[in-house]
A and B are shown apart, each in its own frame.
Chain A
Amino acid sequence: MDASAARPFEGGTAQQMKRLLVLAFVSAIVATSCGSLGVLGGPSIKVGLVTDVGGLNDKSFNALANQGRLDAQSQLSVTTSVTESKKQEDYVPNLTTYAQQSYDLVIGVGFLMTNSVWKVAKQFPNVKFAIIDGAPANDKGDTENLPNVANLFFKEQEAGYLVGVIAGLMAKNKVGKATHNTVCSMGGIPIPPVDRYIAGYQDAVKTVNPSATILNGYSNDFVDQAKGKEVGLNHISKNCDILFQVAGGSGLGYIAAAKEKGVYAIGVDADQKDAAPGTVITSALKRVNKAVFDTVKAVKDGKFTAGDNFFSAANDGVGYGTLDPVVPSDIKSAADQALADIKSGKIKPKDTVQVKG
């Protein structure tokens, strides 16, 4: 079985090498199975993370989820591992493999996996699952909650609101290069998590700076930087001097446009200050790492909750990232005040986009 792929190629030296390889494989299998016996003794739980096709180096979603996994591994002494999905075809088998190996918790990253998690979770009622940014969806595409699946959602509008306060006040006070009182944003595809960010952002700008001009656009893509840049240059030509991107990789092009034209940008999901230092004034943070960590901890403590779990300002699930030195301290105080007000429930950022175009 082990060398079946090579079997029909029978040849002198090849055959000998094959025998050697088989021998090596067999001894290795024996060696690894002995090694894993030691791990089985511990009381700790096992957690498997399955990335979407973005992979571990996306500097965003998957990378943050993996960070949460590593934090959980070191701080909660649980056993974890990660599988990168290369194709959409891989989601179901990757989730299934963890479930078959009796993992206690299997986490799927991203809304692309809603149907795959539904499929697999139904087959393994004793394994707990979690989806970042999604709820299990049946084959018809309808949400169908399962008793063993936690849906990890974020209140993106709160993160959007915080950076909106910063952008709105920067424009109002004409800080640095923000001279046109025009703030803009660009989404990838108009799906709910993207639009919630933009809704909160616009809500804040309208609140702190009602006279500001607000523009919004979509790159219709989450990967292609060129498309993001095109929207960015278009926005800048219409006097935008603060550009908030909600478009993953495509948004990096939006930031690049801001850098090229010497205006400001705001990052998303992860702290993107390194994408263009001096251009990125802050980032709207979605702490996927915290969601992963908290879910692992909940499973370990026997407090796992199926169904919708929200990560918001109240539980530090969202926030704003590193501020560039150009942002004055009074604007930072305003953002911190907004954060406190959101936590206390005094401010409830809107979650529907008002300025679409």
Chain B
Amino acid sequence: MTATAAPSPTGPATAPSVRQPTSQWAQGPAIPVISVLAALVLGAVFVAISGKNPIEAYAALLLGAFGSPYDISETLVIAVPLTLAGLSVAVAFRTGLFNIGAQGQLLVGALAAGWTGSQFPDLPGVVLLPLTLLSGVLGGAAYGGVAGWLKATRGVNEVITTIMQNYFIVFVMHWLLQDGPMSAPNALGTPASSPIGAGAMLPIIIPNEIVPLSRLHAGILLAVLAVVVFWFLLWRTSLGYELRAVGLGARAAAQAGIDPPRRMVLVMAIAGGFAGLAGMIQVSGLFHRVYDGFSTGFGFDAIAVALLGKNSPVGITLAALLFAAFQRGGTIMQSNASISSHLVDIVEAIVLFVIAAETIVRAIASRRGTPAEAL
């Protein structure tokens, strides 16, 4: 994937048309659907090999994800950060960059939001919530921007830098929360920040009378808004046009008067902003403080979400919902049908494998001279 998508100066100079979102969408869904179905079938084989009933497994999975209003609300709670991190990966993809750093950017966003929220706990919500939100987005954007800047000015591969950034922030977070400036004196036996002020919290949007104990918070509205922003930015602004042009062929874009390096910094900042928003939402919507080691893995699942969703707004949303349903349903499947929730990991891995295989097939096809569609 990286090899074909990377916008090196020697990349594809013959860029396909940039104006193709609708046609691409129309022909896109077949492969993701097939890959998911293939993964489910193969997963069923694994279940059968382990001596369990695959139908029972999937029924429990489905019931766990959507069986009750509470289950649905929990699935949506997981889908929110997955969608946002998916947008983060996808916007970079569209510009030909591979953002492995959504996880790190998410954590920076969470730390920045948690810092603001806990530092000024007495501010009223109308001031504190926007401030917290801004901190999260800007924190993630700054962190992502660094990787873009290194790529643009020094040519450092963003895959390497973003992976390193992921590790870096884990340790910084450890220090900050354990005995650094953000650690709370009374932190529940685990490294964590002080709680954020009430004004920084995202409200629960489903009343307790309708779905008791629902944790579904206003972050879902922010996620929906972010999906719209993603679509508008990429397909309704000239900046988005330029970003996609760089993604389809950096050399061609440069010929057309676009400055690819500057676009790289910008797009990595935008990617970081989406992921930072995800981190902010986990803090403001769920935990109301920053815990060391929370939100593990969203940024990595996001790569699968973006790939499965073909980097399109609708696709990412659906893929995030699917993966959220897998995660929520997987835990219930384990408790109610005694089937290891790692089945879900297997299914997710196979989905990725099939999609990657499609990419390889297309790459081979284009090398043989067969006209291949743009990825």
Mark A residues whose CB is within 8 Å of B: 1-2, 4-6, 8-9, 11, 14, 17, 21, 24-25, 27-29, 31-32, 48, 53, 81-90, 92-94, 96-98, 100, 111-112, 114-115, 123, 134, 137, 139-142, 189, 191-192, 220-221
Minimum C-beta distance from A70 to chain B (A)? 12
Minimum C-beta distance from A19 to chain B (A)? 12
Complex: A111 Cα to B74 Cα, angstroms: 23
With A87-B297, A92-B215, A96-B213 as known contacts, state yes or no: A9 contacts B33, CB within 8 Å.
yes
Which chain B residues in 177-195 approach chain A with CB under 8 Å? Answer: 178, 184, 186-192, 195
Minimum C-beta distance from A257 to chain B (A)? 21
B373 touches A (CB below 8 Å): no
Taking CB atoms, residues of chain B closer than 8 Å to A89 are: 77-78, 282, 286, 294-295
Minimum C-beta distance from B245 to chain A (A)? 28
B56 touches A (CB below 8 Å): yes
Minimum C-beta distance from B63 to chain A (A)? 7
Determine the residue in chain B with the shortest Cβ distance to A98.
B335
Complex: A82 Cα to B56 Cα, angstroms: 17
Task: Flag if A11 contacts B30 (CB, 8 Å).
Answer: yes
B293 touches A (CB below 8 Å): yes
Taking CB atoms, residues of chain B closer than 8 Å to A82 are: 334-335
Task: Flag if B288 contacts A139 (CB, 8 Å).
Answer: yes
Please, what's the 1-or-0 string for B192-211, where 1 marks a CB less than 8 Å from any CB in chain A? 10010000000000000000
Taking CB atoms, residues of chain B closer than 8 Å to A86 are: 296-297, 327, 331, 341
A4-B321, A83-B341, A93-B328 known, 4 other contacts, Cβ within 8 Å: A28-B56, A92-B215, A97-B70, A100-B213
B18 touches A (CB below 8 Å): no
Task: Flag if A48 contacts B297 (CB, 8 Å).
Answer: no
Taking CB atoms, residues of chain B closer than 8 Å to A25 are: 55, 58-59, 62
Task: Flag if B59 contacts A32 (CB, 8 Å).
Answer: yes
Minimum C-beta distance from B15 to chain A (A)? 28
Taking CB atoms, residues of chain A closer than 8 Å to B195 are: 139-141
Task: Flag if B186 contacts A142 (CB, 8 Å).
Answer: yes
Task: Flag if A14 contacts B37 (CB, 8 Å).
Answer: yes
Minimum C-beta distance from A261 to chain B (A)? 27
Mark B residues whose CB is within 8 Å of A: 29-30, 32-34, 36-37, 40, 55-56, 58-60, 62-63, 66, 68, 70, 74, 77-78, 174, 178, 184, 186-192, 195, 212-213, 215, 282, 286-288, 291, 293-298, 314, 318, 321-322, 325, 327-328, 331-332, 334-338, 341
With A11-B29, A111-B190 as known contacts, state yes or no: A28 contacts B282, CB within 8 Å.
no
Complex: A9 Cα to B77 Cα, angstroms: 23
Minimum C-beta distance from B24 to chain A (A)? 14
Contact of B55 among A6, A9, A31, A81 (CB under 8 A): A31
With A5-B318, A86-B341, A89-B78 as known contacts, state yes or no: A81 contacts B56, CB within 8 Å.
no
Taking CB atoms, residues of chain A closer than 8 Å to B334 are: 81-84
Chosen A-B contacts, 29 in total, with CB atoms closer than 8 Å, are A2-B62, A6-B36, A6-B322, A11-B33, A14-B30, A14-B33, A14-B37, A25-B62, A27-B55, A28-B56, A31-B55, A32-B337, A81-B338, A82-B335, A83-B335, A86-B297, A87-B297, A87-B298, A88-B287, A88-B291, A89-B78, A89-B282, A90-B331, A93-B215, A94-B335, A100-B70, A111-B189, A115-B188, A142-B186
Task: Flag if B295 contacts A189 (CB, 8 Å).
Answer: no
Taking CB atoms, residues of chain A closer than 8 Å to B36 are: 6
- Chain B at the A interface: mostly helix, strand, loop or mixed? helix
Determine the residue in chain A with the shortest Cβ distance to B327.
A86
Taking CB atoms, residues of chain A closer than 8 Å to B336 are: 81
Complex: A102 Cα to B184 Cα, angstroms: 35
Task: Flag if A141 contacts B318 (CB, 8 Å).
Answer: no
Minimum C-beta distance from A5 to chain B (A)? 4
Taking CB atoms, residues of chain A closer than 8 Å to B74 are: 93
Taking CB atoms, residues of chain B closer than 8 Å to A192 are: 189
List 7 tightest A-B contacts by C-beta distance, closest first: A28-B59, A111-B189, A9-B29, A141-B186, A28-B55, A88-B294, A5-B322
Complex: A87 Cα to B32 Cα, angstroms: 26
Determine the residue in chain B with the shortest Cβ distance to A141.
B186
Taking CB atoms, residues of chain A closer than 8 Å to B192 are: 141
Taking CB atoms, residues of chain B closer than 8 Å to A4 are: 66, 321
Complex: A86 Cα to B55 Cα, angstroms: 24
Complex: A21 Cα to B36 Cα, angstroms: 12
Complex: A14 Cα to B29 Cα, angstroms: 10
Task: Flag if B62 contacts A17 (CB, 8 Å).
Answer: no
Minimum C-beta distance from B331 to chain A (A)? 5
Contact of A1 among B66, B174, B291 (CB under 8 A): B66
Taking CB atoms, residues of chain A closer than 8 Å to B321 are: 4-5
Minimum C-beta distance from A14 to chain B (A)? 5
Taking CB atoms, residues of chain A closer than 8 Å to B296 are: 53, 86-88
With A29-B59, A89-B282, A93-B74 as known contacts, state yes or no: A5 contacts B188, CB within 8 Å.
no
With A14-B37, A87-B295, A189-B178 as known contacts, state yes or no: A2 contacts B66, CB within 8 Å.
yes
Task: Flag if B70 contacts A112 (CB, 8 Å).
Answer: no
With A8-B29, A9-B33, A31-B55 as known contacts, state yes or no: A87 contacts B294, CB within 8 Å.
yes
With A89-B286, A123-B213 as known contacts, state yes or no: A97 contacts B186, CB within 8 Å.
no
Contact of A114 among B58, B68, B189, B338 (CB under 8 A): B189
Complex: A84 Cα to B328 Cα, angstroms: 11
Taking CB atoms, residues of chain A closer than 8 Å to B189 are: 111-112, 114, 134, 137, 191-192
Task: Flag if B37 contacts A17 (CB, 8 Å).
Answer: yes
Taking CB atoms, residues of chain B closer than 8 Å to A31 are: 55-56, 59
Complex: A32 Cα to B336 Cα, angstroms: 10
Between B186, B213, B286, B337, the greatest number of chain A beta carbons within 10 A of the residue's beta carbon is seen for B213
With A83-B331, A88-B293 as known contacts, state yes or no: A96 contacts B178, CB within 8 Å.
no
Complex: A192 Cα to B70 Cα, angstroms: 36
Taking CB atoms, residues of chain A closer than 8 Å to B70 are: 96-97, 100
Minimum C-beta distance from A186 to chain B (A)? 17
Complex: A189 Cα to B341 Cα, angstroms: 30
Task: Flag if A141 contacts B184 (CB, 8 Å).
Answer: yes
Taking CB atoms, residues of chain B closer than 8 Å to A83 are: 331-332, 334-335, 341
Task: Flag if A97 contacts B332 (CB, 8 Å).
Answer: yes
